Amino acid sequence: MSKLRPSLELVVPVPVGTWGLDSVVKSLRQSREETHNIRYRGQIRELPSREALQKILDGLSAALFPTHYGQPVLTDESIDYFVGDKLNIALNDLAEQVRRGLLFVSRQGDEDDAQPVLKTGNDAADLDREAIEITRNFASQLRHIRDVLVTDLQAAYHGDPAAHSVSEILVCYPGMTAIIYHRFAHALHNLGAPFLARLISRIAHSGTGIDIHPGAEIGHSFFIDHGTGVVIGETAVIGNRVRLYQAVTLGAKRFPADESGSLIKGNPRHPIVEDDVVIYAGATVLGRITIGKGTTIGGGVWLTHSVAADSNITQAQSRNI
């Protein structure tokens, strides 16, 4: 029985010039450099690295929860050294990614507010210092971030009868991963690194199916059960002890435009969800409305109007509000 030949030997030779690459490459260069140049002043900028950022997130998670995301065999003697090493590596790498992200941040007074400022010379040195300052301030918030995450963890444990341990939640629950990443991203967003924060939210979305904009404000003891398909918009404000189920959307009802037809950015357009609210699977809550404290919103509800505290909203009721 003869052996199969390697697949490379089965490839039919293609004559040089078959694809017309000279013409294709030339036309793509014309699009990049002339017709549709989207680079600020034609300059190439360093992109933040998604791969590097994932390693940073892993390192930060390990520093906050060493035996769950780091090494399960750590001892009282070794754990602080482990945490310090993880933080040192992660923060050094984070400063570089923050610096790259700042290249994409629009500055007030630009010729075109939609375009970022490219830093050169002395400005580049200022950018380095800004990145270091943002990273230092971020590091100083890690204790607070962990404290809030512990309340999220407790909310998940007490809110889900299927949860048998906090370790199970940390290791197995996509909602917990999404919340951890959001707490990191929200801190960076508020410190002046919105581009990098947005990339962190994208990484979280890819891994969990949960899309939380880093600008969203979320109180303590937050629990997302199951989680897939949850969307939380940029200007959403969520209180304490709020619980969401899968496929919940806290979105915008409309997108106002200016006189030129461009969308107006930054205006509050997402819901305010007060304390102790539960929103069940598939509910869609749109616009700058307020969901009163202690309200329960049933599955599949479509809601575009504010509701009072301690309301119970079903599909039939939401149509009549």
Pairing mode, strands 237-238 and 249-251: unpaired
pLDDT at 319: 55
pLDDT at 16: 73
SS3 121: coil
Q: Which domains does the chain have, with CATH numbers?
A: 46-209 (1.10.3130.10), 229-257+264-321 (2.160.10.10)
pLDDT at 118: 47
pTM: 0.85
User: Phi, psi (5° rounding) for residue 14?
Assistant: -110, 125
pLDDT at 95: 98
pLDDT at 121: 47
Q: Please check whether residue 103 is in contact with residue 119, taking contact to mean a CB–CB distance below 8 angstroms.
A: yes
Distance of CA 251 to the CA centre of its chain: 16
The 3-state secondary structure of 32-69 reads HHHHCCCCHHHCCCCCCCHHHHHHHHHHHHHHHCHHHH
pLDDT at 256: 76
The per-residue pLDDT for range 130-154, each reduced to its tens digit, is 999 999 999 999 999 999 999 999 9
pLDDT at 43: 58
Residues 6+ apart with CB under 8 A from 76: none
Residues 6+ apart with CB under 8 A from 36: none
pLDDT at 171: 95
The per-residue pLDDT for range 160-182, each reduced to its tens digit, is 999 999 999 999 999 999 999 99
pLDDT at 119: 47
pLDDT at 108: 39
Task: Divide the 321 residues of the chain into consecutive groups of 10 and give the mean pLDDT of each group.
Answer: 54 79 91 72 74 98 96 92 97 97 66 46 81 98 98 97 96 97 98 97 98 98 97 98 98 82 84 98 98 98 97 77 49
